[in-house]
Chain A
Amino acid sequence: LASRGRIVFSPAKGIHRQIESPVSLELVITPQDILQRGADQKWKRIPAGRHPEARMMIESFLSIFSGDTGRWTAEFDLFFEGTPEKWSLGLAPRKGRPAARRLRRITARGAGPALTALVVEETSGARTETAFGAPKLLPAVPQDEAAKLFPTLAPEKELP
């Protein structure tokens, strides 16, 4: 499966992921919420709180983007190789941790301060590679853009 899209990470707000093909799908991950908007153009909350594995995956991504090493060291064993110009960071779930049931390894690759690729390998053999082409670094997400990218949702709307 291959998809193409755009990811915006704001340390203050969270992650906004827009898939453009083969489906139009937006995903917003904030420390409080996980929201998704699909073909029906309606924002829906994803009840990841009730899916421990999905929550673990999402929290892992958030911690990788934000560089929250405290969380990594509790959940994962870390491997680092390369130079500050071209680096590779591996996270393997610790034995017995919930992440270890589905996840074999997450590898983040980067150049300088930018993340260029994220590879997720699952215990089932599934492998997901996200390549980040032409990353842009901005001091902050503009306010009007942030309001569009990170909506807030009434508590009761959940994805069925």
Chain B
Amino acid sequence: VKRAVLLAAAVAGLAAFLAVRLVRGFQPDTDILALLPAENRDPLLARATEIFLRRSGGSLIFLVEADDPAPAVDALTESMKSSSLFKSVWKEGDPAKEAAFRDFYFPARAAMLSAGDRDALRGPDPAKRLLDRVAERLYGPLAVLAGDKLAEDPLLLFPSLASTWLDLVDGAGDPRRALVFAELAGDAFDARVQDQAVAWMRDAGIRLAALKPKATLSWTGLLPFAHAERTRIQRETGWLSAGSVFGIAFLMLLVFRSPKPLLLGFLSVGAGLLAGTAVTLAALGRVHAVTFAFGSSLIGSAVDYAMYWLAHRRLAPTEETGEGISARIGVALTLSAATTALSYVALGFTPLPGLRQMAVFSSVGLMTALAAVLWWFPFFLRRTPGGSLSPRWLAPMEALRRFWSDRRRAAVAAALCAVLGLAGLSRIRFDDNPRRFNHPPQARLDEDARVRKASGGLDPSKFVFLQASTEEELLRLQESAQDRLSVLKSSGALDGFRCLAPFLPSAARAAENRKLLSQALGSDPKTVARRLTELGLPAGGAALQALAPDAGRPFTVESWLSTSVSEGLRALWIGGTPDGFGAFVFLEGVHDADALRRGMEDLPGARYHDRVSEYRDLFARYRRIASGLLAVAYAAIFLLLAGRYGLRGGMAVVLPVLLAALVTFGLLSAVGVPFNLMHVLGLVLVLGMSADYAIFYVESARHPEAFPAAGLGIALSVASTMLSFGLSGLSGTPLLQSLGMVVALGMLFALVFSPAPLAFLEERRG
């Protein structure tokens, strides 16, 4: 009673803590990235990725496709500007945006120079080559872009620069497509912001259809992906929990014929879930929605203890007290909880934060559930519920036990299963592609691809990261990377790239450009003036003198960041952090990753990254670590069991879980399922949950009359685990699906092999 009261007080305390957190607005994480490991090899890149996600997280791109998209775009931007959802909105070729660019960059034109003008000035006869370019522009079809500042900019430096940006910023220029860009006012991961934005988008689509029936509106950005992920997780958590709760309730009512055991079962599981959530939150500061989904699977594991206790109660003589039952099976239950906890602790050693959460959540939840069973159940269930149980219920498990009781038959069967398992394992395949962990709905991916293609086709998973120790060094590195990437682009290694070099010149490049210009124009000023006059341009010195060498950068990075010209670009600039200065260069259509890697290798501070292949390597590494930890967990459990049953006994008790793992992986390999980290972790769970069964049988061997109760408890446990994990095997979240598949199969085989140790232990007992 004392222990029961202590436990009740502890659970009440944790419930109060959780209530306070809920009142303060606690929401579980739904960002799938929160489950992935933080970049631990490069602190600046880790910080840069975080800053990039924060800055670009609010960016949205909308694509309107119609025969004449202009009216639809106008209506869309008007509606966006009047909505409080968006902080800023601009459209492709927005006159206000163009004016902002002109105002900001026109004074800096001589310091920036387009690549074409720079090439002309660096070659032989620079003045003639520059003026030839001016003539071609002025009298060519692009004269319309010359603008209205001919008197101030007779060398057309600004329009030349602006046309470089057009190539960089604009899409393919298809007149039937128009892009609108927006920055969210709120956080893309905020569930309310997501719901509002998705509802707004749906209304915008309806309004557009009314305006132009054949027009389509698509969008992309972090928000639509985060929303798709969150709604899927929420939906699945809902039906997974409901499915396992109803399934288990039905099972218990069927066997125990009384609602009391069912309520007690839920009481112990509820206490476990509550303690798991509260302690995870207190220890790690956050709980992910996937951890909750996983928690619904914990029901299957925690309910084992309740089932086992209740099975003993069900078959025990009526005069035996609840305390007596707890004392009788307490060792078996504690030993089994210890083995389960050992395997969950193994999860905690993987570097994935999501799994650390699950490890804490599960270990604490299971221990609490066990304590609730041992200390609360005797208090509530003094007498056997229901009437006598029909022997039909016990027959299948008794038949299974009898099958394994013949040592020779058991040895042959075990050897045969091991051989079949190994044969299957010979076809083992691994696939560590991170997309297997996070696979958004196909419709969302298609929409994203359509919008990205229209907006320049940048692939956010492939980029060059630049790092330097000062801002000026970083600006110069951007310029060197731009030169290098331009060469790689013309050799076909990639289709394009977006970097800030054309928008943010270094002081060195600015000074060099001014010098090139003044040298070219100053070498033969009379010829230059004559040629300008011939072209019909003002040859007066004022316009050219304005370009005279001037020290320093034409503007600071801070001033650039604070104006609207950096909208849509500023996420590339990470700037200064305690780990150094960083910037991203995003790539389009990478055809030759090796050439890119080599091209960046001898540029100090620049490095090509392919996130998909990096995560693939990372997950492969974690899969190997988890496999090692699984071996350690097996060894630890074996040592624990050997301490109680001796060396041979320990081996016999570990045999069912070893065989279950072997046959499960063998079967899945034979049917061609490629393994990843999640499958290995599923095996960790199988080990933790099913090591119990052999213990229950072996402990019952001391009181053979308890065999039917052990069989019933194990069968109910497996059935409940199958109900929860079997359901998550049907989940659309690949993470849960892989886990569920392994656990469902593994538990089924563990059940089949669970009486096997009895055959091998008899000798010791004899």
Q: Give A contacts to B, CB under 8 Å.
A: 1-3, 19, 22-23, 25, 27, 29, 34, 36, 38-40, 46-55, 57-58, 74, 96-98, 101-102, 122, 124-126, 128, 159-160
A53-B145, A124-B147, A125-B148 known, 5 other contacts, Cβ within 8 Å: A1-B536, A46-B140, A51-B163, A52-B93, A122-B144
Assess whether B175 is in contact with A160, with CB atoms less than 8 Å apart: no
Assess whether A50 is in contact with B142, with CB atoms less than 8 Å apart: no
Can you name the residue of chain B whose Cβ is closest to the Cβ of A55? Answer: B173
Assess whether B135 is in contact with A50, with CB atoms less than 8 Å apart: no
Q: How far is the CA of A57 from the CA of B167 in the complex (A)?
A: 18
The winner among B68, B141, B166, B173 for most chain A CB atoms within 10 A is B141
- 11 pairs across A/B with beta carbons < 8 Å? A1-B536, A22-B535, A38-B136, A46-B142, A48-B142, A50-B166, A51-B173, A55-B173, A57-B144, A97-B68, A97-B70
Assess whether B71 is in contact with A96, with CB atoms less than 8 Å apart: yes
Q: How far is the CA of A47 from the CA of B164 in the complex (A)?
A: 11
Interface membership of B116, Cβ < 8 A: yes
Distance to closest chain B CB from A16 (angstroms) = 13
Assess whether A50 is in contact with B132, with CB atoms less than 8 Å apart: no
B:316-352 near A, CB below 8 Å: none
Interface membership of B172, Cβ < 8 A: yes
Distance to closest chain A CB from B469 (angstroms) = 33
Interface membership of B74, Cβ < 8 A: yes
Interface membership of B187, Cβ < 8 A: no
Q: How far is the CA of A66 from the CA of B39 in the complex (A)?
A: 61
Cβ of B175: which chain A residues have Cβ within 8 Å of it? 52, 98
Q: With A1-B535, A25-B135, A27-B141 given, is the CB distance from A96 to B70 under 8 Å?
A: yes
Q: Give B contacts to A, CB under 8 Å.
A: 68, 70-71, 74, 93, 95, 115-116, 119, 132, 135-136, 138-145, 147-148, 163, 166-167, 170, 172-173, 175, 534-537
Main secondary structure of the interface of B (DSSP, over half): helix
Assess whether B140 is in contact with A2, with CB atoms less than 8 Å apart: no
Assess whether B534 is in contact with A22, with CB atoms less than 8 Å apart: yes
Cβ of B74: which chain A residues have Cβ within 8 Å of it? 96
Cβ of B93: which chain A residues have Cβ within 8 Å of it? 52, 98, 101
Assess whether B170 is in contact with A50, with CB atoms less than 8 Å apart: yes
Assess whether B144 is in contact with A23, with CB atoms less than 8 Å apart: no
Cβ of A47: which chain B residues have Cβ within 8 Å of it? 167
Q: How far is the CA of A97 from the CA of B74 in the complex (A)?
A: 11
Can you name the residue of chain B whose Cβ is closest to the Cβ of A25? Answer: B139
Q: How far is the CA of A38 from the CA of B141 in the complex (A)?
A: 12
Distance to closest chain B CB from A114 (angstroms) = 23
Cβ of B534: which chain A residues have Cβ within 8 Å of it? 22
Distance to closest chain B CB from A6 (angstroms) = 14
Q: How far is the CA of A51 from the CA of B172 in the complex (A)?
A: 9
Assess whether A36 is in contact with B140, with CB atoms less than 8 Å apart: yes
Can you name the residue of chain A whose Cβ is closest to the Cβ of B98? Answer: A101
Cβ of A96: which chain B residues have Cβ within 8 Å of it? 70-71, 74
Q: Which of B115, B116, B172 is A49 in contact with, Cβ under 8 Å?
A: B172
Q: With A47-B167, A49-B172, A50-B172 given, is the CB distance from A57 to B141 under 8 Å?
A: yes
Q: Which of B116, B136, B142 is A51 in contact with, Cβ under 8 Å?
A: B142
Cβ of A52: which chain B residues have Cβ within 8 Å of it? 93, 170, 173, 175
Distance to closest chain A CB from B307 (angstroms) = 69
Assess whether B70 is in contact with A51, with CB atoms less than 8 Å apart: no
Assess whether A160 is in contact with B116, with CB atoms less than 8 Å apart: yes
Q: Which of B139, B140, B144 is A102 in contact with, Cβ under 8 Å?
A: B144
Can you name the residue of chain A whose Cβ is closest to the Cβ of B95? Answer: A101
Distance to closest chain B CB from A82 (angstroms) = 28
Q: How far is the CA of A125 from the CA of B136 in the complex (A)?
A: 22
Distance to closest chain A CB from B225 (angstroms) = 29
Cβ of A27: which chain B residues have Cβ within 8 Å of it? 140-141
Can you name the residue of chain B whose Cβ is closest to the Cβ of A158? Answer: B167
Q: With A49-B173, A50-B170, A51-B173 given, is the CB distance from A25 to B140 under 8 Å?
A: yes
Assess whether B141 is in contact with A39, with CB atoms less than 8 Å apart: no
Assess whether B145 is in contact with A124, with CB atoms less than 8 Å apart: no
Q: How far is the CA of A61 from the CA of B57 in the complex (A)?
A: 44
Q: With A23-B136, A23-B535, A97-B70 given, is the CB distance from A36 to B115 under 8 Å?
A: no
Assess whether B132 is in contact with A40, with CB atoms less than 8 Å apart: yes
Q: How far is the CA of A111 from the CA of B116 in the complex (A)?
A: 43
Q: With A1-B535, A57-B144 given, is the CB distance from A38 to B116 under 8 Å?
A: no
Q: Which of A3, A124, A160 is B119 in contact with, Cβ under 8 Å?
A: A160
List 6 tightest A-B contacts by C-beta distance, closest first: A1-B536, A124-B148, A23-B135, A160-B116, A39-B132, A38-B136
Q: With A50-B167, A51-B163, A98-B70 given, is the CB distance from A29 to B145 under 8 Å?
A: no
Distance to closest chain B CB from A116 (angstroms) = 21
Can you name the residue of chain A whose Cβ is closest to the Cβ of B132? Answer: A39
Distance to closest chain A CB from B144 (angstroms) = 5
Assess whether A160 is in contact with B147, with CB atoms less than 8 Å apart: no
Cβ of B163: which chain A residues have Cβ within 8 Å of it? 51
Q: With A50-B170, A52-B173 given, is the CB distance from A38 to B144 under 8 Å?
A: no
Can you name the residue of chain B whose Cβ is closest to the Cβ of A23? Answer: B135
Distance to closest chain A CB from B113 (angstroms) = 12
Q: With A50-B166, A96-B70, A96-B71 given, is the CB distance from A19 to B144 under 8 Å?
A: no
